[in-house]
Amino acid sequence: MKPTVKDKIEGTFHELEGKARVITGKLSDDPKLESEGTGEKISGKMQGKIGQFKKILGK
């Protein structure tokens, strides 16, 4: 598997995991879990963008 594809897949996974944490945090009224989910979601988006950037550069 190419590193660019791997980054995109892992980024998507982290985004989904983050969304799940945010929803769980809201439902359980746990602001810490909600903020962790937001952070995870952002890191997932960044990782996906890194994969796209690597693809543009041809790495």
Which residue range is the domain that position 29 belongs to? Answer: 3-57
Indicate the pTM of the whole model: 0.81
Amino acid at 41: K
Quickly state the pLDDT bin for 5 (edges 50, 70, 90): confident
pLDDT digits (tens, 9 = 90+) for 13-45: 999 999 999 999 999 999 999 999 999 999 999
34-40-46-50 Cα dihedral, nearest 10 degrees: -170
Overall number of domains in the chain: 1
